[in-house]
């Protein structure tokens, strides 16, 4: 990939949560490099396409392999939910909790726990 075709970093005032300490600060700092790489160096369609393919595989395959396919989706959605949590309103927080609950229940059904 040519250096002139790279997307610039998004504009904003702060990259990290102001005043973050402990676990939040560590997660934000450790995920800064992969997040920057994912959102600036990889084509925009790769992450959503991969997540949709994995989720569809989780719906289509009714055995533990379907559950394994959904696990990266849970990790990605949980990671984004955790990073965006401080800036969300009540509706946004409820939506993320509902989505993660749905995905966990999907995985549980594929593994035969429900």
Contact indicator for 6, 41 with CB cutoff of 8 Å: yes
pLDDT tens, position by position, 14-49: 566 666 778 877 887 788 777 777 778 888 899 899
pLDDT tens, position by position, 94-105: 999 999 999 999
Q: In whole angstroms, give the CA distance from residue 35 to residue 108.
A: 28
Query: Mean pLDDT throughout 73-78?
Result: 94
* DSSP-H helix ranges across the chain: 22-40, 46-60, 64-84, 90-110
- Please report the pLDDT score of residue 8 as a whole number: 65
**Where do the domains of the chain lie?**
20-110
- Please report the pLDDT score of residue 66 as a whole number: 95
As a whole number of angstroms, the longest Cα–Cα distance in the chain is: 51
| Residue from 62, 38, 41 nearest 51 by CA | 38
Across the chain, mean pLDDT equals: 85
pLDDT at 1 over 80: no
């Amino acid at each position: 990939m040519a250096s002139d075709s790279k997307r610039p970093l998004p504009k904003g005032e702060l990259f990290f949560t102001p005043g973050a300490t402990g676990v939040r600060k560590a997660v934000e700092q450790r995920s800064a490099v992969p997040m920057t790489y994912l959102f600036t160096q990889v084509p925009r369609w790769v992450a959503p396409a991969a997540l949709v393919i994995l989720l569809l595989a989780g719906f289509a395959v009714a055995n533990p392999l379907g559950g394994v396919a959904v696990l990266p989706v849970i990790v990605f959605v949980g990671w984004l939910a955790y990073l965006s949590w401080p800036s969300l309103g009540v509706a946004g927080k409820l939506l993320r909790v509902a989505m993660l609950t749905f995905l966990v229940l999907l995985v549980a059904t594929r593994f035969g726990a429900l």
